[in-house]
Every structure is written in C-alpha cells, then in structure tokens.
Amino acid sequence: MFVVVGITFNQELKTERALEALKNLSNPRALVIRDGEQKRIPGREVVKDDILILREGDRIPADAVVLSCTNLLVDESLLTGESLAVRKSESSDLIQSLQSWHTGGDDMPFVYSGTLVIQGHGVAQVIATGIHTGKIGKALGTIAEEDSLLKKETVLIVKNFAILGGVLCSLVVVVYGITRGDWLHGLLAGLSLSMSILPEEFSVILLIFLSMGAWRMSKRNVLIRRMPAIETLGSSTVLCVDKTGTLTLNKMILSSIYSGNEYLEIDKNGCLVEKFHELLEFGYLASQQDPFDPLEKEIKKILKNSL
C-alpha cells in the first residue's frame, strides 16, 4: 500500500509541477498605463478599463477594444483555427463597438485574450477579463467532476458483495447461535465470513494498474493529472480535436515564389535563380529584424538556407 501510494503521489506531484511551470511560462506580461506611467505587469493583474499598449510579439492578456493602431495584425488561430493573421482597426465609437463585442475578424476593433500581436502596434482598453472573456471560460467553470465508469462499477460490485456478506453474516450468527447456543462465537464466525467475502484488494489492484499506466505515459512525455484519465483514454473510441496546432503545425510555409511571370516551387528547387533571390532579399530588407509575422519568418528562413 505504501509503495502504491508513493507512486501515485510522486506521479501527481511531478505532473502538477510541470503544469505549474507551463502555466507560469504561458502567463503573458502586459504593458499598461497606470497613474500616467507605462508599467509591465503580469497578465493576471490586468483589470477592466486598463489601457493596454500592444506591440509586436505581445500576447494579449484580456479582451479589449482598440482605441488607436498602426498596421495592427493579430493571430487569432487560438480562437478560430485560422493561422492567417487578421487586420485590426481602431474604434470610432466605443459604445457602439461594445454592442458587437464578440465579433472577430478583419477590420474589427476588438482583440481577444490569448491572441498574439503579429505586426504593428496599438492602444486598447480592456473590456473583459478572466471568465468574462467568452463562453469557453464560463463553460469550464460549470464543469462538475464526476466519478469514472470504472469507479462506479467497482463501487457497485463492492456494494453487492457487502450486501451478500451482511446476509451471510446474519445467517451464520443465527444458525450458530441456535444450534450451539454460543452467540458470541457465532457473531465472530459471521464477521469472519463476511470480511473474507469483501473484495478489499479491488482498489489496490486498480490503483496499481492506473499508476503503472500513468508512469508509462510519462515516459512518452504525456502528463496525467488525474489517474482516472488513463481509463477514459483507454475506453475512447472517437477522438475529436482541433487540427490547428494538433494535427498541423499552426504555421505558414512559403512554398512558391512568383516573379516576372514565372513561378518557383521552393520545395522542388534547392537553389534560387538570381531574380528570385533578389525578390527574397528585398522582402527580407523590408521585414523586421526579429519578425513575428509568419511570412517574414519564412522569407528569412528560405533566404538563410539559400546562402
């Protein structure tokens, strides 16, 4: 029992530490204006009506309406699954904009929590934080933890054995007491019989197998936060996932170049002819030094590989 409990405790402790480290790593830091000064604060400390300064590479910590911007492009693939960045415009009427708050896409004055600024800069006012940023947060807050099917079936089996043991215990006590007149020994015999029937080892065996499953999956870089997840994964017949970032890499790849009425397939040609090389060179010079835009990243990568 001590070995099993130790394995379980150690596995869950390692998982919690890893998840906490990932949470701290993914927690964005926001640049806000407070008391007339720019301050860099953790994203979780952003409150409603804060003024955010958005810059290239910033992870947006809350839902906000854009007050002013210049060439602001935002990656909303976290919400829409589309890897192509969308263009944002500034709001001309804050009250009217709030009526269409949850409308995303091009030329809309809204930026959303968790999205990434790809290009440009701007100023935005926070309109919602935390669970108020959308339906997903509210839905997650209403999820109630349920017992797994394996636990329910185990409880049912133990309950049935307990009823059977109680009935046999009473029968043994009555029969022993009537036939031998020794009710004390009859009670002890009945209790011994009922205890031997109860499947006490069920929970131990199940815990051992679940712990071993979690340990084996951790060797393949899969974190198991709760042991019943092993059972759920093993009994799954249909898996529905968001393909962006799961089945795909969630990034753009520059596959062809067009210049002078000619196409060049990047994957099929290891080297670039001069006019295509010149096109990429000018594209590189027009890009940021450390770009976040996916197209600028691809131009820099291909030009580097061709040198």
Architecture of the domain defined by 46-139: Distorted Sandwich (2.70)
Query: Rounded to an integer, what is the distance from CA 241 to the centroid of its chain?
Result: 12
**Does the pLDDT value for residue 37 go beyond 70?**
yes
Pairing of strands 63-75, 262-265: unpaired
Is residue 3 pLDDT above 60, yes or no?
Answer: yes
Task: Report the catalytic residues.
Answer: 242
Report in angstroms the alpha-carbon separations of 78 from 20, 109, 244: 21, 18, 8
pLDDT digit string, tens, across residues 99-122:
555 556 677 888 888 888 888 889
Q: What length is written for the chain?
A: 307
pLDDT at 173: 85
Residue 32 has pLDDT above 80, yes or no: yes
Give residue-wise pLDDT tens across range 4-29: 677 767 767 777 777 676 666 556 77
Residue ranges in 182-292 assigned as alpha helix (H)? 183-197, 201-218, 228-234, 274-285
Query: What burial letters (b/e) apply to 23-37, b meaning 16+ CB within 10 Å?
Result: eeeeebebebeeeee
DSSP strand pairing (110-111 vs 37-42): unpaired
> Taking the domains of the chain in order of start, what are their residue ranges?
46-139, 149-234, 256-306
